[in-house]
Structure 1
Amino acid sequence: MTQTTSTPARLRARDGFVLAARHFAPTTAPQARPAGAVVIAPATGVKATYYRRYAEFLAGHGFHAVTFDYRGVGESREPFAVARQARWADWGALDADAVLGWARTHLPGPLLTVGHSYGGFGIGLADEARHVARHVAVGGQHAHWRDYRARPGRARMWARWHAAMPVVTLARGHLPGRRLGWLEDLPRGVALDWARSRRDFTASARTAAGRDELRRRLAAFTADALIVAPVDDDFGTEAALDRADAYSPGRRTVRWRVRPEELGVAEIGHFGLFHARFAPTFWPATLEWLRDGVAPDAAR
Structure 2
Amino acid sequence: MNLQDMPPLAPTQIELPLATDTVAEPFRQPAADGFTLGGFMWRHADTDLTRPAVIINAATSVRCRHYSRFADYLFANGFDVITYDYRGIGESRPASLKGLQASWTDWGALDFEAMLKRAQREFPGQPIDVVGHSFGGCAAGLGASGALIRHLVTVGAQFAYWRDYAPAHRWRMFGKWHVVMPIVTMICGFFPGKRLGWLEDTPAGVVRDWSTPTARYETRPSGRAAHATTGRLPFATVNAKILAISISDDPYGTVPAIERLLGYFTGSLNTHLRIAPEDIGEAEVGHFAFFRSAYQATLWPIALSWLQNGELAPGTPGRTVPRN
TM-score (normalizing by structure 2): 0.86
- Match runs of 1:12-91 below 5 Å: 12-26=30-44, 29=46, 34-81=50-97, 84-91=100-107
Alpha-carbon distance between aligned partners in 2 of 1:112 and 1:214, rounded to the nearest angstrom: 27
1:291 pairs with 2:308: yes
Q: Show the counterpart of 2:219.
A: 203
Q: Show the counterpart of 1:178.
A: 194
Q: List runs of 5+ in structure 1 lacking aligned partners.
A: none
8 Å CA contact 1:42–1:119 kept in 2: the answer is: yes
Cα shift readout 1:113-164 (whole Å, capped 9, x = no counterpart): 000000011221011222100100101100010000001x111000000011
**How far apart are residue 261 of structure 1 and its match?**
1.6
Query: What is the one-letter code of the residue matched to 1:91?
Result: W
Q: Show the counterpart of 1:5.
A: 23
- Match runs of 1:218-229 below 5 Å: 218-229=235-246
Q: Show the counterpart of 2:10.
A: none
Query: What is the one-letter code of the residue matched to 1:269?
Result: G
Structure showing the higher helix proportion among its residues:
1
1:104 pairs with 2:106: no
Cα shift readout 1:180-217 (whole Å, capped 9, x = no counterpart): 11100000100111011410110124797732547331
Alpha-carbon distance between aligned partners in 2 of 1:134 and 1:204, rounded to the nearest angstrom: 27
Q: Show the counterpart of 2:293.
A: 276
Query: What is the one-letter code of the residue matched to 1:63?
Result: F
Query: What is the one-letter code of the residue matched to 2:192?
Result: P
Alpha-carbon distance between aligned partners in 2 of 1:179 and 1:283, rounded to the nearest angstrom: 31
C-alpha root-mean-square deviation of aligned residues, in Å? 1.9
Alpha-carbon distance between aligned partners in 2 of 1:247 and 1:25, rounded to the nearest angstrom: 32
Shift in CA distance, 234/214, structure 1 to aligned 2, threshold 3 Å: farther
Shift in CA distance, 69/250, structure 1 to aligned 2, threshold 3 Å: same
Q: Percent identity?
A: 39
The ranges of structure 1 where at least 4 consecutive aligned residues each deviate by more than 4 angstroms after the TM superposition are: 205-209
Shift in CA distance, 82/97, structure 1 to aligned 2, threshold 3 Å: farther
Cα shift readout 1:56-79 (whole Å, capped 9, x = no counterpart): 000001100110000000110115
- Match runs of 1:183-198 below 5 Å: 183-198=199-214
**How far apart are residue 81 of structure 1 and its match?**
4.8
Query: What is the one-letter code of the residue matched to 2:243?
Result: L
Query: What is the one-letter code of the residue matched to 2:121?
Result: T
Q: List runs of 5+ in structure 2 lacking aligned partners.
A: 1-20
Query: What is the one-letter code of the residue matched to 1:271?
Result: F
Mean Cα deviation higher: 175-184 or 74-83: 74-83
Alpha-carbon distance between aligned partners in 1 of 2:306 and 2:210, rounded to the nearest angstrom: 30
Q: Secondary structure at the match of 1:5?
A: coil
Which of 154, 178, 201 is residue 162 of structure 1 equivalent to? 178
Query: What is the one-letter code of the residue matched to 1:204?
Result: R
Alpha-carbon distance between aligned partners in 2 of 1:208 and 1:154, rounded to the nearest angstrom: 25
Which of 266, 272, 277 is residue 255 of structure 1 equivalent to? 272
Shift in CA distance, 43/246, structure 1 to aligned 2, threshold 3 Å: same
**How far apart are residue 242 of structure 1 and its match?**
1.2
Cα shift readout 1:58-109 (whole Å, capped 9, x = no counterpart): 0001100110000000110115358732011100000011011101221252
8 Å CA contact 2:246–2:273 kept in 1: the answer is: yes
**How far apart are residue 34 of structure 1 and its match?**
2.7
Mean Cα deviation higher: 54-63 or 290-299: 290-299
